[in-house]
């Protein structure tokens, strides 16, 4: 933990214990620096952190004061992140794990052996051999009609009335998220993200110059609706970007009751939701979890998904259920990625029009379920005391909380030297966390090499406990 975070936390305890009353003046920066022994910069950072959390406010030339009744109480640590800088960290991280020699526990994608279905490859081969789809115009936004029709049918099957014109094909899920966010916001706008979330969401916010209000995870519900209410009461939020099914990196899926409550809040406050649902097909229970689109009576939800986690990330094909924003998003596409590879779109449409996809998904789910259980049992049995492994019945990530004194960045660097990658917590959250989490991709068969790597991971964590 940084010194400023440490100081902010102890001052927060004092504020919450009623040590000061609303509108009381806090010690000046200099007084606080003298009392605590921290530098002026550290104290200033701590005060700014408390201000971002709404616990104190500043008056020009007068100093800092305890927030009064005029502000809604922020009991659930809503944090304002003014300026996002994560892209370079993600860039360095992705470069560092790229080598084929590295055991890819840090990868965001399932083992490619489980994707790229043989039938799909056959379809691609046949199309290539007969030069099918080469002669056509590159498919312009919103993308291949047949593919959009098949995607629309999948929504209808889940009880979500959908027309092909609602769907825009994008270059993967990330493009869908970026385009949606770009269509809904202006630089400087406030958006809501979960405190711990896929780094692509942070990158999109950085790219578009957005301010990010974060809401913490709820231990039982996944998403903390009270914090969400606080965030929208305090800040002018028009858009949020959330993951509610098979959350990356933690793994939870939010219940239908909570989704319904969230939908009612969005409706009451006219807030748009960009829903990241790229793991929607990777559930282990019998019933596919509902998306927020299901509860969306007012067309406030833009639902983003892709084939990257089920058929292959290399295809770069995703989509957004854009509804009334379809045209706006297509305009943005014309100025950026233009079209998605028409050859691949045609082949995917061909493939999806048969029953192959359903069969492939069934096998994929069963395999991931088996592997996730194996990894979980191994890690739960071998990790030292103080570690906690979260298991949820979907996807292929395990989220491991390490003892508070262990820095997951250090673990990531040490493992990399041994040829093993893991994703450190710093990729998924910005402030207010202890940096003691790692995400492990468990989609690789338990070969001897993988078992040795898991053993290496456990040993590394054990060793750092004693340093």
Ligand X SMILES: Cc1ncc(COP(=O)(O)O)c(C=O)c1O
Cα distance between residue 292 and residue 240, in whole Å: 12
Choose among 164, 165, 145, 144: nearest CA to 154: 164
Q: Return the residue of 108, 190, 387, 440 that touches ligand X, per CB under 6 A.
A: 108
Q: Is 320 helix (H, G, I), strand (E, B) or coil?
A: strand
Nearer to ligand X, 7 or 423 (CB): 423
Nearer to ligand X, 199 or 272 (CB): 199
What is residue 379's three-state secondary structure? helix
Q: In the complex with ligand X, which residue's Cβ is closer, 276 or 281? A: 276
Which residues are CB-contacts of 216 (< 8 A; sequence separation ≥ 6)?
Answer: 76, 77, 194, 195, 224, 227
The alpha carbons of the chain give a radius of gyration, in whole angstroms, of: 24
Q: What's the min distance (Å) between Cβ of 176 and ligand X?
A: 7
The DSSP secondary structure of 184-213, one letter per residue, reads H--TT-EEEEESS--HHHHHHHHHHT-EEE
DSSP 18: T
Does residue 251 belong to the site contacting ligand X (CB under 6 A)? no
Q: Does 143 bind ligand X (CB under 6 A)?
A: no
Task: Render the burial of 98-121: b for 16+ CB within 10 Å, e for the rest.
Answer: eeeebbbbbbbbbbeebbebeebe
Given a contact cutoff of 8 angstroms between Cβ atoms, the answer to whether 249 and 198 are in contact is yes
> Which residues, 6 or more positions from 55, have their beta carbon under 8 angstroms from its beta carbon?
12, 15, 66, 67, 74
* Binding piece for ligand X, criterion CB under 6 A, among 75-83, 146-154, 187-195, 305-313: 305-313
Asked if 313 touches ligand X (CB under 6 A), the answer is yes
Phi, psi of 39 (to 5 degrees): -75, 165
# of chain residues touching ligand X (CB under 6 A): 14
- Least separation in angstroms between residue 428's CB and ligand X is 10
The reply to whether 399 sits near ligand X by the rule CB under 6 A is: no
Q: What DSSP assignment string belongs to 383-426?
A: SPTT-EEE--SBSSEEEEEPPTT--HHHHHHHHHHTTB--EEGG
- Nearer to ligand X by C-beta: 228 or 279? 279
Query: Least separation, in Å, of the C-beta of 200 and ligand X?
Result: 5
Out of 152, 241, 244, 278, name the contact with ligand X by CB under 6 A. Answer: 278
How far is 393 from 253, CA to CA, in rounded Å? Answer: 9
The neighbour count for residue 346, using CB atoms within 10 Å, is 21
User: Which residue in 104, 216, 318, 424 binds ligand X (CB under 6 A)?
Assistant: 318
Q: For ligand X, which residue of 123, 182, 194, 308 counts as binding (CB under 6 A)?
A: 308
Question: Least CB distance from residue 13 to ligand X, whole Å?
Answer: 34
Instruction: Please provide the distance, in angstroms rounded to a whole number, between the alpha carbons at the two ends of the chain.
Output: 16
**Options 184-192, 306-314, 338-346, 373-381: segment touching ligand X (CB under 6 A):** 306-314
Task: Answer for the pair 329, 321: CB distance below 8 angstroms, yes or no.
Answer: no
Build a one-symbol-per-residue string for 192-231: x at contacts with ligand X by CB under 6 A, - elsewhere: ------x-x-------------------------------
Shortest distance, position 432 Cβ to ligand X, whole Å: 21
Using the minimum distance from each CB to ligand X, give the nearer residue, 52 or 313.
Answer: 313
Binding mask 146-185 for ligand X (x = CB under 6 A): --------------------------xxx-----------
Residue 456, SS3 per DSSP = helix
The full length of the chain comes to: 467
In whole angstroms, the minimum distance from the beta carbon of 279 to ligand X comes to 7
Q: Which is nearer to ligand X, 203 or 326 (CB)?
A: 203
Nearest to ligand X of 278, 400 (CB atom): 278
Between residues 298 and 336, which has the closer beta carbon with respect to ligand X? 336
Nearest distance from C-beta of residue 306 to ligand X, angstroms: 3
Report the residue from 306, 345, 421, 464 that binds ligand X according to the rule CB under 6 A.
Answer: 306
116 contacts 313 by C-beta, under 8 angstroms? no
Q: How far is the CB of 108 from ligand X (least distance, A)?
A: 3
Closer residue to ligand X in complex, CB, 67/442: 442
The contact set with ligand X (CB under 6 A) reads: 108, 172-174, 198, 200, 243, 248, 276, 278, 306, 308, 313, 318
């Amino acid at each position: 933990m940084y010194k400023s975070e440490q100081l902010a936390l102890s001052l927060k305890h004092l504020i919450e214990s009623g040590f000061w009353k609303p509108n009381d003046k806090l010690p000046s920066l200099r007084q606080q620096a003298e009392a605590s022994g921290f530098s002026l910069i550290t104290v200033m950072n701590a005060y700014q952190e408390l201000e971002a959390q709404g616990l104190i406010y500043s008056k020009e030339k007068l100093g800092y004061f305890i927030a009064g009744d005029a502000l809604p109480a922020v009991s659930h640590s809503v944090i304002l992140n003014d300026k996002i800088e994560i892209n370079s960290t993600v860039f360095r991280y992705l470069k560092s794990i790229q080598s084929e020699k590295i055991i890819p526990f840090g990868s965001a994608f399932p083992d490619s052996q489980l994707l790229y279905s043989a039938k799909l490859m056959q379809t691609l081969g046949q199309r290539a051999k007969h030069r099918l789809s080469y002669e056509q115009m590159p498919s312009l936004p919103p993308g291949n009609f047949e593919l959009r029709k098949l995607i629309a049918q999948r929504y209808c099957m889940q009880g979500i009335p959908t027309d092909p014109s609602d769907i825009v094909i994008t270059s993967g899920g990330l493009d869908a998220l970026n385009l949606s966010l770009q269509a809904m916001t202006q630089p400087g706008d406030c958006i809501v993200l979960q405190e711990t979330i896929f780094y692509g969401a942070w990158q999109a916010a950085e790219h578009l110059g957005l301010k990010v209000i974060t809401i913490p995870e709820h231990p039982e519900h996944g998403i903390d609706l009270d914090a969400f209410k606080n965030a929208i009461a305090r800040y002018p939020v028009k858009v949020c970007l959330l993951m509610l099914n098979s959350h990356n990196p933690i793994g939870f899926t939010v219940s239908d009751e909570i989704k319904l409550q969230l939908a009612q809040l969005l409706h009451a406050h006219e807030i748009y939701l960009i829903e990241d649902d790229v793991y929607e097909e990777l559930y282990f229970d019998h019933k596919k979890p509902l998306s927020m689109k299901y509860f969306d009576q007012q067309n406030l939800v833009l639902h983003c998904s892709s084939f990257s986690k089920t058929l292959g990330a290399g295809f770069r094909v995703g989509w957004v259920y854009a509804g009334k924003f379809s045209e706006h998003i297509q305009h943005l596409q014309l100025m950026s990625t233009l079209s998605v590879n028409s050859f691949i779109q045609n082949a995917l449409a061909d493939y999806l029009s048969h029953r192959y996809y359903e069969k492939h998904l069934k096998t994929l789910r069963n395999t991931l379920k088996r592997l996730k259980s194996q990894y979980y049992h191994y890690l739960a049995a071998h990790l030292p005391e103080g570690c906690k492994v979260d298991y949820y019945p979907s996807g292929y990530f395990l989220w491991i909380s390490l003892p508070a004194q262990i820095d997951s960045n250090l673990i990531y660097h040490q493992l990399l030297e041994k040829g093993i990658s893991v994703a450190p917590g710093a990729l998924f959250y910005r402030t207010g966390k202890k940096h003691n989490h790692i995400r492990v991709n468990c989609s690789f068969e338990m070969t001897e090499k993988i078992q040795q790597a898991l053993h290496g991971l456990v040993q590394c964590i054990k060793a750092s406990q004693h340093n």
